[in-house]
Amino acid sequence: MKSEKLKVKEVELKNNAVIIADVHYKKGDKEFLNLLKKWIENPPPQVFFLGDIFHLLLPFKYLIDYNKEAIDLINTLSYKTEVYYTPGNHDFNVDTIFPNVVFSDAFIYKKKDILLTHGDLTCKDYIYKVYVKIIRVLAVNKILHIISFNFLNNWLFKKILKKRTICKKMKNFEKKIKEKTKSNDYGIIIEGHYHQGEILHFSDRIYINLPAFVCTKSYILLQLENNPIIKEISYDGR
């Protein structure tokens, strides 16, 4: 995506790679925890976490302690199989928390012309892009944390963690995505962020918006034998 300033890493996608986004994990979410345990017991060839896996995770003690159970399981999984992570707008600057996980704003698979990313950094809305850029500055977060003696941040963290996740269809979603991706250089774009779970076909590309696990309790398998296709997997929580 030449028009976007993304940190991009090239990967070799494997057949039946698991791709999941927008879990918005909150403490005690047994469905996600059980899914991670299932993958640890029977590891997929690769796992791609495409952002907002946590409802809120930054590199601060309060949030690390709050999310500890899921963090520990992801770290265990990362020693069982290849784990890749694109930060979202709810979980960023977290690479030090997951030392064996590969991080990037986006991953590309050149052989099949596929781009994988969360989706917030490719947004065309100027105000939102400025907001995202500011909130991702680790130094700003740390300074606020220090000068507030953790009080202000922890108060804000608790309020955000209580917020419900929106699960509804967006108006004019196809039009929005067509405009957003018109300068995209990839034939297949896979993103989360919007919680829509839709596949859109344009003349020169395919856009796949992942189902939000928090809304649908599902994720996808990427199957590469012929043309890349996705298979949605519904998880029953066991």
> What is the residue-wise DSSP string for 55-109?
SSB-SSHHHHHHTHHHHHHHHHHHTTSEEEE---SSB-S-GGG-TTSEE-SEEEE
Give a yes or no: residue 3 inside a domain.
Answer: no
Residue 60 belongs to a domain:
yes
User: Among 201, 193, 194, which residue's Cα sits nearest to residue 229?
Assistant: 201
In a 3-state reduction of DSSP, which class is residue 42? coil
Q: Quick one: DSSP state of residue 16?
A: T
Q: Is residue 224 part of a domain?
A: yes
Task: Write out the two tokens for 30.
Answer: 């047994």
Domain membership flag for residue 209: yes
Count the domains in the chain.
1
| CA pair distance 182, 203, nearest whole angstrom | 10
Band (47; pLDDT cuts 50, 70, 90): very high
134-178, pLDDT tens digit by residue?
677 777 767 766 766 666 678 888 888 999 998 999 999 999 999
Please state, for a pLDDT cut of 90, what percent of the chain lies above it.
Answer: 62
Cα–Cα dist 225/227, whole Å: 7
Calculate mean pLDDT across residues 113-117.
Answer: 94
Tell me the average pLDDT across 39-53.
97
Q: In terms of residue numbers, what domain contains 20?
A: 8-234
* Mean pLDDT on 49-66: 94
Give the pLDDT mean for 119-127: 76
Q: 0.85 cut: is pTM over it?
A: yes
Q: Tell me: the pLDDT tens digits for 202-221?
A: 988 899 999 999 999 999 99
Residues 6+ apart with CB under 8 A from 7: 104, 105, 106
Specify if 190 maps to a domain.
yes
pLDDT the model gives residue 4: 54
Residue 19: inside a domain: yes
Query: What's the CATH code of the domain at 194?
Result: 3.60.21.50
Residue 24 is assigned to a structural domain of this protein? yes
